[in-house]
Amino acid sequence: MLKNFIVGFNYFCMIYTLILSSVYLCQLLISNICISRDMRRKTAGDYDRYVGSDNLFPVSILIPAYNEQDNLAANVRSLLKLDYPEYELIVINDGSADGTHQSMLQTFGLYEISYPMKNTLPTSHIRGVYYNIKYPNLLYIDKRNGGKSDALNAGINFSKYPLFVSLDADSQLESDAILKLAAEFLKDTKTVVSGGFVRVSNGSAIEDGKWKSFHMPSSNVERFQIIEYFRTFLSGRISWNAVNSLLIISGAFGVFNKQVVVECGGYRTDSIGEDMEIILRIHKYLRRKKRKYKIVFSEDAVCWTQAPSTFGDLRKQRRRWQIGLMNSLLIHHDMLLNPKMGFVGLLAVPYSWLFELLGALIEALGYILIPLSFIIGIIKPFVFILFLIIAALLGIMLSLGGLILEQSTRKGVLTARQCMQLSLYALLENFGYRQFVALCRAEGMLRYGTLKNTWAKVRRKKFNY
Amino acid sequence: MGIWLAYVLVLICIFIVSIEYLYLYALSSRTEARISEYNGTCVRIGEMIDTIVNAPTESSLRQALVFLKRYVGVDRTRMDILSGLLLKRLITENEEGNQNGLRALSAACDMVNPSAFYSSLLKTGDLYDKAYACRKISGFSRRQEISVIREFSHSKNRDLSYNAAMALSELGDESGLIDAIRDCQHNYEYSHRIIIELIQKYTGDMETLAKKVLCGISDDYIKTAVIKAVAKYRFQSLADIFTGLLTGTNVNLRAAALTALGALGDPAFQNDMITACTDPDWIIRLTAVKALKNIRTPESMQALSDAAQDAEWWVRNTAAKILVGMDTDLVYVERVLRNEDRRAADSILFALYQVCDMSR
């Protein structure tokens, strides 16, 4: 009985790996076509005309922060120099237990003011609103801890502009990133959300929103993540964008139509994957209302984020992401194979269930059962080795594809030498890293009940300003 | 059989991975070389322009021009860099009033003739090249190409039609621009902000254009955008059109008309705005409050202090901010603060925080 199960599972794993890899390869090809088209379209791009114009949408940049004393003040200072005609910066301290609050007050000389509250969305208690006339577009809100979603809702309540940017406190924007995303709202009134390309900042020096140089980060875990981000953003996001079926706009950097988010009820405070949940809810709400809309991804708008530099932190992060994914998919389970949800319900959501969510469990189980069946002699050694080789080769193919897509964007961040160095990591990540990540994701699913509703902070290094 | 298939699969994968490696190597080397060449070209052309601007004699100027022409040739990248730098430099020299520099730069334009290069791109390039060429041609004010650009403004490709319309606006082509705006009636995909930008970049007679567009177009969305675009130019001659729109049913159009009347700053229209301050629609009330910003009379101040007690957050806070900015004697501000309405007082306090340094 057990033997039959293991043999059956082995066959299932092989077929699953082949199907998954074929899907990823299709995504890679679609993304390649989209990037080539976008590179041509960029010639006609005219977004920079709006730099000095009053006609660009003003934006409210919301920065929810929890225990961010190391980076927050410096990041806010850099954002105050942003090249954007009209914006406000709203920093929301979500009851940090470290020196974040004091650091903000001291760095910017903020003082408490009485602010006429607008209770559009319910949030936990606001302890104080701080301001300094020297920084007229900076507003700092100190509130009781309620989670990232709650902090974002508070930010929405205080914001005054029609678009808001959700930005992680540990992320840095390229100076024209918001401009490029806001231009999407100008070009097409159907756009309700636009998201940018989140790149790993480890090893890069960024000065006043301009990338300066790149040196290979010191740890292997950081190098692997650089490859992984290329694959995820440039292959996954771009291909889903092509069919207007993006299910996630990274919480690190996205621009939202405030009215639509408010109509949807704001961010759900009981959800851990707020970035995916809000997008799923927007899809559902607008499709039910039969409103035409677009959720777009632009690889040209870049945000730099710090990736975890230790395996311990990576484990925490990936667990959290998987819990967020599971949480969002469970909340919106009615979208699965729902024809009223169009492509999103028939393609993107099933894909997320099958390959993103359950894939983690299947992969992790495969890592245990396939070697086990080899050890107890259910599969022959050369079949086992052959399967490992095929799985590794498919993985390498996809990772190299991600790297090729990055080079196709012609950003010039990596030199040819660095690119070839990273390609080595595209090869190595299949021997340990991928398995580790799969196990972390599976752990997240198994510990769903105990780990949800936490900020799960990851230690960050100071930015290389 | 299965094993043989697996072997074939392995071989296919190895083949694809090898191809990927080779392609990646070629691509990354090419990208690196291209970026380095681009940066080098920028520096080189920049230096050549410096030499031209600072040429001490006619012969050295002529020599520098010949050298520039030979270097740029018909290379697209070099021409793009040159045209960008030339336009930037022309603006700088014009601001500094350097007549010699301007003359030298004009000679460079005549010699290398980037506008002719982009004119040919209008005919030979693909859709995106044509869109780009439209922009460049408007930068060089090459009016000969207006008829071609007019055709492009009706293109189904939105990148091309947008760039063509913007070029017509910058070239001051009235009828071409009106046609392009009329086309927008059938294409609501553009934000109204793009239509405003389109109008505000117009280099011809704005007043005539506004009149023609407002009288010739019936679409409320376009009309609203046009009124918003021309509001800042304060054309008194359009006041009748604006007041006529105040009684309509379209909220956005009424709001735009109020904004335009407010921009005129004429107390003759203050009653329209004061009446609008009590409109049932809060967007109209908010716009009326903003419109009163330019009319400083006791009646308008009273209307603003009443609006500071409005039930709607946006109206209340905007009125408070404007009142604090206008009421230098703080008579009306104090009156609102003494009032029992705490929300109004909070709005005034916040407005005061925004203008006074309270840290001391």
The letter for the amino acid at A269 is T
Q: Which of A53, A188, A387 sits opposite B197 (nearest CB)?
A: A53
Q: Which of A56, A390, A403 sits opposite B10 (nearest CB)?
A: A390
* Range name among A333-342, A451-460, B230-239, B272-281 with the lowest pLDDT average: A451-460
Chain B CA closest to residue A411: B31
The letter for the amino acid at A228 is E
- Whether pLDDT at B5 is above 90: no
| Mean pLDDT of the B61-86 span | 92
Q: Which of A113, A134, A386 sits opposite B353 (nearest CB)?
A: A113
pLDDT for residue A463: 43
CB contact under 8 A, B359 and A133: yes
How much is the mean pLDDT over chain B? Answer: 91
Give yes or no for a contact between A452 and A323, defined as CB atoms under 8 angstroms apart. Answer: yes
Give yes or no for a contact between A463 and A334, defined as CB atoms under 8 angstroms apart. Answer: no
pLDDT in tens, A285-300: 999 999 999 999 999 9
Closest CA to A225 of A457, A32, A415, A437: A437
pLDDT for residue A9: 87
- Whether pLDDT at B61 is above 70: yes
What's the distance, CA A116 to chain centroid? 33
Q: Which of B29, B128, B356 sits opposite A416 (nearest CB)?
A: B29
pLDDT in tens, A14-52: 889 889 999 999 999 999 999 998 888 887 777 777 877
| Mean pLDDT of the B16-28 span | 94
Q: What's the pTM value of the predicted model, to 2 decimals?
A: 0.90
Q: Which residues of A touch B31 (CB under 8 A)?
A: 407, 410, 412, 416
- Return the exposure string of B42-55: e unless at least 16 CB atoms fall within 10 Å of the residue's CB, then b: beebeebbebbbeb
Q: Which of B118, B160, B193, B312 to mutate to test the interface with A (most CBs of A within 10 A)?
A: B193
| Mean pLDDT of the B149-170 span | 93
Give yes or no for a contact between B308 and B319, defined as CB atoms under 8 angstroms apart. Answer: yes
| Mean pLDDT of the A102-129 span | 91
- HSE (side-chain half, CA atoms, 13 Å) at A46: 27
CB contact under 8 A, B193 and A190: no
| Mean pLDDT of the B337-349 span | 85
Chain B CA closest to residue A410: B31
Among A183-197, A446-460, B178-192, name the most confident range: A183-197
Give yes or no for a contact between A116 and A109, defined as CB atoms under 8 angstroms apart. Answer: no
The residues in A 355-414 lying below 8 A from B, measured between CB atoms, are 383, 386-387, 389-390, 393-394, 396-397, 400-401, 403-404, 407-408, 410, 412, 414
CB contact under 8 A, A412 and B131: no
- Whether pLDDT at A447 is above 80: yes
pLDDT for residue A464: 44
- Whether pLDDT at A216 is above 60: yes
- Return the exposure string of A250-281: e unless at least 16 CB atoms fall within 10 Å of the residue's CB, then b: bbbbbbbbbebbeebebbbbebbbbbbbbbbb
Q: How far is Cα A75 from Cα A69, in angstroms, rounded to an integer? A: 11
- Whether pLDDT at A343 is above 70: yes
- Whether pLDDT at A6 is above 90: no
| Mean pLDDT of the B266-284 span | 93
At residue B256 the predicted structure's pLDDT band, cuts being 50, 70 and 90, is: very high
Phi, psi torsion values for A198, nearest 5 degrees: -95, 120
Neighbours of A416 (CB within 10 A): 18
A57 close contact with B: CB closer than 8 A: yes
pLDDT > 70 fraction of chain A, expressed in percent and rounded = 97
Distance from CA of B135 to the nearest CA of A (A): 9
Q: What is the DSSP letter of A379?
A: S
- Whether pLDDT at B117 is above 80: yes
Give yes or no for a contact between A199 and A422, defined as CB atoms under 8 angstroms apart. Answer: no
Phi, psi torsion values for B295, nearest 5 degrees: -120, 105
Q: What is the DSSP letter of B268?
A: G
- Whether pLDDT at A70 is above 70: yes
- HSE (side-chain half, CA atoms, 13 Å) at A277: 23
CB contact under 8 A, B158 and A187: yes
Q: How far is Cα B221 from Cα B140, in angstroms, rounded to an integer? A: 32
Q: If you compute the radius of gyration of chain A from its CA atoms, what whole number of angstroms results?
A: 22
A52 close contact with B: CB closer than 8 A: no
> What are the Cα distances from residue B219, in Å, to A182, B198, B231?
26, 17, 18
The residues in B 193-232 lying below 8 A from A, measured between CB atoms, are 193-194, 196-197, 200
B346 close contact with A: CB closer than 8 A: yes
Chain A CA closest to residue B308: A116
Q: Determine if residue B142 is left, alpha or beta; phi over 0 gives left, psi from -120 to 50 gives alpha, anything else beta.
A: beta
Give yes or no for a contact between A247 and A348, defined as CB atoms under 8 angstroms apart. Answer: yes
- Whether pLDDT at A465 is above 50: no
Distance from CA of B62 to the nearest CA of A (A): 33
Q: Which of A390, A400, A412 sits opposite B21 (nearest CB)?
A: A400
Strand pairing class (A191-200; A294-305)? parallel
Q: Which residues of B touch A113 (CB under 8 A)?
A: 349-350, 353, 358
A214 close contact with B: CB closer than 8 A: no
H or E segment to which residue A389 belongs: helix A381-408
How much is the mean pLDDT over chain A? Answer: 90
pLDDT for residue A296: 96
pLDDT in tens, B163-215: 999 999 999 999 999 999 988 877 667 888 999 999 999 999 999 999 999 88
Q: How far is Cα A250 from Cα A459, in angstroms, rounded to an integer? A: 19
Q: How far is Cα B303 from Cα B319, in angstroms, rounded to an integer? A: 9
pLDDT in tens, A346-362: 999 999 999 999 999 99
CB contact under 8 A, A189 and B128: no
- Residue located via tokens 């043989």: B4
Distance from CA of B222 to the nearest CA of A (A): 14
Give yes or no for a contact between A408 and B27, defined as CB atoms under 8 angstroms apart. Answer: yes
Phi, psi torsion values for A45, nearest 5 degrees: -60, 140
pLDDT > 70 fraction of chain B, expressed in percent and rounded = 98
Structure tokens at B32: 């690196």
B190 close contact with A: CB closer than 8 A: yes
- Whether pLDDT at A458 is above 60: no
DSSP A173-205: E-TTHHHHHHHHHHH-TTEEEEEEEEEE-TTEE
